[in-house]
Amino acid sequence: MNIAAAQSGGPTCAINASLAGIFSEAKMNKSINKVYGSLNGIEGIINERLIDMNDVLRSYDDMELLKRTPSTVLGSCRFKLPSYEEDSSVYEKITQVFEKYEIGAFFYMGGNDSMDTVCKLSRYFKDKNIDIMVIGIPKTIDNDLKHTDHTPGFGSAAKYLAVTLQEITRDSAVYNVPSVTIVEIMGRDAGWLTASSCVLHANDEESPHLIYLPEADFSDDKIIADIKDQLKRSNSVVVAVSEGVTSGDTYAAEEFQSGKADAFGHSYLSGIGKYLEKLVEERIGCKVRSIELNVMQRCSSHMASKTDIDEAFRIGSEGVKAAVAGKTGVMMAFVRTSNEPYFCSVTAVDANEVANQEKKLPHEWINDEGNNVRDEAIDYFLPLIQGELNPYMKNGVPVHMKLELEEDFDGED
């Protein structure tokens, strides 16, 4: 049989390593012939935009380069399948393409939305007695997937964040005046990434002095009181804040965001960082700066976690083994078997239990004041950011893998 792999959702540093893992395992398995890459997720199947991965991965260097390339080399999509009872035409189209390319297993790398596709597609194939396995390979920097210890992509995001936050901490302390630095971190509904900044405490950094998460209550009065308190002990206070902190039912920055119109009359979508910068300026009056780490959190492969990249590769290859063993409608998942030394095994969980859900940071990891995390969090995060994968350099910058597609590319035929 042949197999097909596709990437979906937001980019990470590790999703290409999972593709490399799928390819590698397939090449070692005699029952698998070709590995197709589907361009722009499931849309590449529907539109028949498939490439033969043998044409892309021709050497050891190609494989290593793919592992060192951030974002999705095959492109991504945000496509939600309708239920097949409502509209079966897209399912029929997918089946037709899979049959044409003799695809016996499909691997979908993505987050909880992508697992919805894994569920729907595998259920359709089962119901129609079509012998195609569908396997979900997790990835998200948000680390919010249920039934897995953590998600590929998260460790690299956490490592980039820790490294950068430490450098920002050095930068913020140069002048001999009280200052506050607010760093806004991705994570709309779950605070995993923001909380992971606590790893710096393992190296005797006091920064981040304060950590605010969507899982804890948040208010303007509270953060101002907390910062004032920290300024008594430190001249230079660094605050890690999740973009999704809420006070009650609304995002904290929402009132601020909707309150102002820009030059074009649109409401001004500024984030929590800018909001808090203004708040500190107004209510404390010291030197204050806000920093938004933006997409660099998900694409900074030059500082990827080797643990993360290795695990992303491994979970991809384990996915192929699961498909060959006849599993379908599952997501591959990590089970932490030991923390010192750190080991994870890989298992398959029902994708239905993961799709469209999210896993929050445990409440017991957050301190009573709701402005920092406990040591259990450090123990959990630390193994995930270990090790570095040196980039391949050319002219002083890392080399990335890029597909060279013909302009009017629309599939093999």
Q: Taking CB under 8 A as the criterion, which residues in 44-83 touch its own copies? A: 69-72, 75-78
- Span 6-35, contacts to its own copies by CB under 8 A: 10-11
List, in order, residues 6 or more apart from 114 with CB less than 8 Å away.
Answer: 8, 9, 41, 108, 136
CA distances 279 to 1, 124, 253, 370, Å, are 60, 52, 11, 19
302 forms part of the interface with its own copies (CB under 8 A)? yes
Which of 147, 327, 360, 400 is the binder for its own copies (CB under 8 A)? 400
> Residue 88's CB: how many other CB atoms inside 10 A?
14
Active site residues: 142
- Kind and range of the H or E element at 409? none
131 forms part of the interface with its own copies (CB under 8 A)? no
What gap in Å lies between CA 2 and CA 31, rounded to an integer? 9
From 30-38, 124-132, 266-274, 333-341, span contacting its own copies (CB under 8 A): 266-274
Between 289 and 321, name the residue whose CB sits nearer to its own copies: 289
Q: Is the torsion defined by CA of 390, 394, 397, 400 positive or negative? A: negative
> What DSSP string describes 57-75?
--SHHHHHHHHT--S-TT-
β partners of residue 135: 107, 330
From 54-62, 254-262, 322-330, 356-364, span contacting its own copies (CB under 8 A): 254-262
Between 13 and 361, name the residue whose CB sits nearer to its own copies: 13
- Span 169-188, contacts to its own copies by CB under 8 A: 170-176
Between 28 and 393, name the residue whose CB sits nearer to its own copies: 393
Cα–Cα nearest to 135, from 294, 409, 334, 321: 321
* Least distance (Å) between residue 114 CB and its own copies: 13
- Kind and range of the H or E element at 135? strand 133-138
CA distances 63 to 18, 57, 58, 66, 301, Å, are 11, 6, 8, 5, 15
From 105-113, 120-128, 300-308, 330-338, span contacting its own copies (CB under 8 A): 300-308
Q: Is the torsion defined by CA of 382, 383, 387, 392 positive or negative? A: negative
- Span 368-387, contacts to its own copies by CB under 8 A: 382, 385-387
* Least distance (Å) between residue 4 CB and its own copies: 17
* Least distance (Å) between residue 290 CB and its own copies: 9
Between 47 and 347, name the residue whose CB sits nearer to its own copies: 47
230 forms part of the interface with its own copies (CB under 8 A)? no
Between 278 and 327, name the residue whose CB sits nearer to its own copies: 278
Between 283 and 360, name the residue whose CB sits nearer to its own copies: 283
Nearest 10 degrees: CA dihedral of 135, 69, 358, 91? -40
199 forms part of the interface with its own copies (CB under 8 A)? yes
285 forms part of the interface with its own copies (CB under 8 A)? no
